[in-house]
Structure 1
Amino acid sequence: MAGRWPAVLVANLLLGIPAVVPFWLLWFLAASWVSGPPAEENDGMALWLVIVVPVVGLYALLWSAVNRSLARRSSLMPRTYWLLGVLGTLLPTTALIIIYP
């Protein structure tokens, strides 16, 4: 079953649901650095890095472990597999952006 593209898509869609949190944290961190922190917030950005780095790091480890395991058993071409994996992971976040702009 892991050799077919639906298994890859479903696995990455399921991984994409908790990925909303790390993607949001990265977006918020990038937006805060570009626009600067609000005037009433004088704690700096170091606290955000303490929160963002472990959350994004743990999710990246989970995502890469699952996808490396599936990629070894998949009969898809590597480029097709990783493209499908990334798009499947981004789909829940994209749907939330479209539904709740």
Structure 2
Amino acid sequence: MRTYPPAAVVVNLLLGLPAVVPVWLLWYFAVNWPLAGLGWTQGEPTENDGMLPWFIFAVPVLSVFSGLWWLANHLLRRRRHAGPRAAGAYWTTSALLTLVPTGALIAVL
């Protein structure tokens, strides 16, 4: 059984540091979803600009981050030459490792 490569652990933990911003943007959008009853919590009452400014800001941020994350993990995965069964475990582990800094920040605050 092969183990998860140490380089991928380091890369995903380092990518998790700037990932705090895209995760926060996704959380903010989910909380302030404009359709009644679909938000997870009560929306901010002063948030009356609509969601278009958030789409204009969030879509490029999320696109750039997800593109860099995919490229880094694709290159690391390709160098490893693991079979197709290991692909799902690799990508799942990579995503969870990227969320570790956000989880640590939530736990501390």
TM-score (norm 1): 0.85
Counterpart CA distance in 1 for 2:56 and 2:42 is 18
Higher relative contact order (CA 8 A, sep 6+): 1
1:82-101 correspondence to structure 2 within 5 Å: 82-100=91-109
Shift of 1:75: 4.7
Question: Is it true that 1:46 corresponds to 2:52 in the alignment?
Answer: yes
Q: Which runs of structure 1 show a deviation greater than 4 angstroms over 4 or more consecutive aligned residues?
A: none
Question: Is it true that 1:18 corresponds to 2:14 in the alignment?
Answer: no
More helix by percentage: 1
Structure 1: runs of 5 or more not aligned: none
Alpha carbons of structure 1 residues 72 and 44: separation in structure 2 relative to 1, 3 Å: same
Counterpart CA distance in 2 for 1:73 and 1:12 is 16
**Match for 2:87 among 65, 78, 81?**
78
TM-score (norm 2): 0.80
**Cα root mean square deviation, aligned:** 1.9
Aligned residues: 98
Q: Deviations over 1:30-83 (max 9, x none)?
A: 101115653333221111111111100110110011111111012552123212
